[in-house]
Amino acid sequence: MPKNSVVFPFPQDLREAQVALHRTRAECEEYARTLPWSVEPMPGWEADKQLHSTYVSAKPESPGYSDGQAQRIADYRARLLELSIAVSTHPFWETVDSGDVVAARMALKHAHES
């Protein structure tokens, strides 16, 4: 631990909310990678070749999200919002000196690693 590091006494419920936020965000991102590139049905396309490159930007046709896929993404977003609010408005933050809030927030993001 660096010499000037401050150890913050994070309450267990705040630590748990932060871990849930990490996990939910990771699950949402993993799920989103399996979805079509467009929420709505869209035709595929291919752009012109880039100057001085062999790269050609293209997307296949997208069937869009099914109702179930759209609902699952909406559920993830609602949970992420709920957890973000729980973490950012937790009463613990009122006990932290204003000059230490950023350091405390960064420490909380990694508290589960210790």
Is residue 46 classed as helix, strand or coil in its secondary structure? strand
DSSP class of 49 = P
- pLDDT over 50 (residue 1): no
> Could you report the per-residue pLDDT of 44-57, keeping only the tens digit for each?
999 888 788 888 88
Cα Rg of the chain, angstroms:
21
> Could you report the per-residue pLDDT of 66-110, keeping only the tens digit for each?
999 999 999 999 999 999 999 999 999 999 999 999 999 999 999
DSSP character string of 94-113: GGS-GGGHHHHHHHHHHGGG
